[in-house]
Structure 1
Amino acid sequence: MEGIMLLCGLLGALAIFIGFARLVAWVIDRREEQGIKAIRDAAFVAQARAEIAHRDYTISMLDQQDIHCADDFPGYAEFFLDDSATGKPEVRHA
């Protein structure tokens, strides 16, 4: 009878130890997931900022091209220069 009780006690202790080990492994995994998520979020923000910067650069280049076209064709300046905020053409005189 003592042997059976000892065996049950050892199996119970083993089950508790395994449960504790699984809990520790889960906590470590969650911390890694949070770290990976932070890295992904930072990469997403960096990519979005790069795309916005590229878009702004492209828009500024197009604006420069519009100014050059308006200088080349002064009679058609209202077609090239446009203030997109108000929708009214900006006419430059050389």
Structure 2
Amino acid sequence: MNAQYWIAIGIVVNLITLSLMAYDKSQARKHGRRVPERTLFLWAAIGGAAGAIVAMRIWRHKTKHPSFVFGMPALLLLHVVLLYLFLQD
């Protein structure tokens, strides 16, 4: 599979993660059914950490949770390192 394919997948995963964070913030305001934190972390772990970080900044969501404040940048750093190693071949 070529690089364009993986870029497209990355964009989609980040948009889904951003959307889940936005939906969760909306539900939090309405006291509705929330997206489990495990789900948010799962999407971030499979490649959506950048989308989660953007959502945290835009909607000020999950910014008081140390697991998100430190976890999302750590996942993003891991993704950058893995991408770098992947592109070395």
TM-score (norm 2): 0.38
- Give the TM-score, by structure 1 length: 0.36
Greater Rg by CA:
1
Higher strand share: 1
> Which structure would you say has the larger RCO, counting Cα contacts within 8 Å and 6 or more residues apart?
2
